[in-house]
Amino acid sequence: MLTLKHTAPHFMRPSRFTVPPDTPVRWHALGQLWPYLLEFKTRIVFALGCLVLAKMAGIGLPFVLKHVVDDLNTQDPSTGLVAVPVALIVAYGTLRLLNVIIGEIRDTLFGRVTERAMRRMGLNVFNHLHSLDLTFHLNRQTGGLSRDIERGITGISFLMRFLVFNIGPTLLEIAVVVGLLLVKYGVSYAAIILCSVIAYVLYSMKTTNWRTRFVKAMNEADSTTHSRAVDSLLNFETVKYFNNEQYEAGRYDQELAQWEVARRKNRLSLFALNGGQAFIIASAMTAMLANAANGVAQGEMTIGDFVLINAFTMQIFMPLNFLGFVYREIRGAMANIDNMFTLLATKPSVQDDPQAPDLTVTRAQIEFRDVSFGYSAERPILKKLNFTLPAGKKTAIVGASGAGKSTIIKLLFRFYDTTAGSIFIDGTNIAQVNQASVRKQLGIVPQDTVLFNDTLYENIRYGAPDASDADIENAINTAHLSEFIAQLPDKANTRVGERGLKLSGGEKQRVAIARALLKNAPILVFDEATSSLDSGSEHAILHALTALASNHTSLVIAHRLSTITDADNILVMNAGEITEQGTHADLLATHGDYAKLWHMQQSNKE
* Domain ranges for the chain: 25-345, 452-520
pLDDT digits (tens, 9 = 90+) for 517-550: 888 889 988 887 666 566 666 666 666 666 666 6
User: Mean pLDDT for the chain?
Assistant: 79
CA 434 to each of CA 34, 84, 344, 381, 552: distance values in angstroms, whole numbers, following the listed order: 31, 80, 20, 25, 22
- Kind of pairing between the strands at 553-557 and 523-527: parallel
CA 198 to each of CA 107, 191, 201: distance values in angstroms, whole numbers, following the listed order: 29, 10, 5
CB 330 within 8 A of CB 159: yes
Instruction: Show contacts of 4-7: CB within 8 Å, 24+ apart.
Output: 4/218, 4/222, 4/263, 6/325, 7/270, 7/274, 7/322, 7/325
Distance CA 558, CA 597 (A): 12
Q: What is the mean pLDDT of residues 578-597?
A: 90
Per-residue pLDDT for 499 more than 50? yes
Q: Report which secondary-structure segment, H or E, holds 167.
A: none
Specify the CATH number of the domain 25-345. Answer: 1.20.1560.10
Distance CA 179, CA 546 (A): 87
Strands (E), 361-416: 366-376, 379-389, 394-399
Rg (CA), the chain: 35
pLDDT digits (tens, 9 = 90+) for 328-383: 677 777 777 777 777 777 787 778 888 889 898 888 899 999 999 988 777 888 98
Per-residue pLDDT for 410 more than 80? yes
Using pLDDT thresholds of 50, 70 and 90, give the confidence band for residue 31. low
CB 158 within 8 A of CB 29: no
Distance CA 204, CA 568 (A): 76
Give the pLDDT of residue 11: 35
Distance CA 418, CA 426 (A): 18
DSSP 507-541: HHHHHHHHHHHHH--SEEEEESTTTTS-HHHHHHH
Closest by Cα among 566, 530, 528 to 546:
566
Q: Residue 484 contacts by C-beta under 8 Å, 6 or more apart in sequence? A: 507, 510
CA 406 to each of CA 519, 556, 558: distance values in angstroms, whole numbers, following the listed order: 21, 10, 10
Closest by Cα among 477, 452, 482 to 465:
452
Q: Which CATH fold would you assign to the domain 452-520?
A: Rossmann fold (3.40.50)
Give the pLDDT of residue 14: 38
Distance CA 11, CA 138 (A): 37
Share of residues in the chain with pLDDT > 70 (%) = 82
- Kind of pairing between the strands at 553-557 and 394-399: parallel
